[in-house]
Structure 1
């Protein structure tokens, strides 16, 4: 594992290969699972501020889910996540013409309507963060639906931390990411 500032990073993030392959998985991570996308506390206000600009991008079922459940829901552990449609896909998920799930929040961002790309948990996937009192643990979430992403990443020679450079910088900053690269490079020289 790598210990960096207030984070503990699993070796899988350094060692495993990964590049999303939406043509193969069709955005299954927006559907599968027990809950919607995890939301950080500050994202609740951001979502509320931007909802009127996100709403036109959402499906009818997604809008209905938000009307019934709210912009976000609290789970049994007191954490927040996006609401879901029938305990399946995220309420903010939308299907494109090829039946690939995309994100209404991200589409509003790409169209310049809002300045928030999407929840950081989605942006960081397949990394999941567990928060403790003194540190955050970053773990690689292995899931069969991402097998095509693992193969694609291996074909391209791109590791998890490299694929997720942008969201890792978004979450922890440029200097944190540079330090991560330096640690990994130094460890590879030793081997």
Structure 2
């Protein structure tokens, strides 16, 4: 474990290698799970504020599910989450012409319609965070089969998880955190070359 202030980072975040291979996984993390995307309380407020800007990017099925369940709902096991269509694809997702799931929230961001890219849980994936009374835990948890192509591509390109997720980690924990993590990682790689 790597301890940075009150954040405990799994060694695998530095040691493992990972690069999403969307042509192979098709964005399956947006439809494979027990609930929609986890949201923080602050993110539920943000989603309410930007919903009208995001709405044109959603499918009629996604909109129907949001109409029925709400823009998000509270799940007793996962906390605040986005709704899903038929228990599968996130209500904010859609399939592109290559069959890859894309995020309507992120597309609105890329088109300059919002300042919010997407839920931090999505941006950080395959890293998951969990708060305890004392620490925030940061763990690398790729799906065994679904993420296998990303693990292979990461090894081929020699890209550590923390490098692949640089933008998301900085967004969540800040530049200072990332700088310390990068120093620890470089020391690890210097010792193991």
Same fold, TM exceeding 0.5?
yes
Query: d(CA) in 2 for partners of 1:166 and 1:128?
Result: 15
How far the C-alpha of 1:190 sits from its partner, in A, is 3.9
TM-score, normalised with respect to structure 1: 0.97
Query: d(CA) in 2 for partners of 1:127 and 1:78?
Result: 16
TM-score, normalised with respect to structure 2: 0.96
CA deviation vs aligned residue, 1:52-97 (integer Å, no higher than 9, x gap): 0101000110000100000101011471011111111100011111
Match of 2:26 in 1: 26
SS at match of 2:142: coil
Q: Point out where structure 2 has 5 or more consecutive residues left out of the alignment.
A: none
Query: d(CA) in 1 for partners of 2:78 and 2:125?
Result: 21
Match of 1:44 in 2: 44
Q: Point out where structure 1 has 5 or more consecutive residues left out of the alignment.
A: none
Query: d(CA) in 1 for partners of 2:124 and 2:189?
Result: 24
**Matched residue pairs, number?**
191
CA deviation vs aligned residue, 1:4-34 (integer Å, no higher than 9, x gap): 1111111111111100110111010001010
SS at match of 2:139: strand
Query: d(CA) in 1 for partners of 2:40 and 2:76?
Result: 16
CA deviation vs aligned residue, 1:114-135 (integer Å, no higher than 9, x gap): 0000000000000010111121
SS at match of 1:88: coil
Query: d(CA) in 1 for partners of 2:69 and 2:186?
Result: 46
How far the C-alpha of 1:188 sits from its partner, in A, is 3.3
Q: Does residue 162 of structure 2 align to residue 164 of structure 1?
A: no
Distance 1:6 1:90, change over 3 A: same
How far the C-alpha of 1:99 sits from its partner, in A, is 1.1
Determine if contact 2:38/2:78 at 8 Å carries over to the other structure.
no
SS at match of 2:147: helix
Q: Does residue 179 of structure 2 align to residue 178 of structure 1?
A: yes
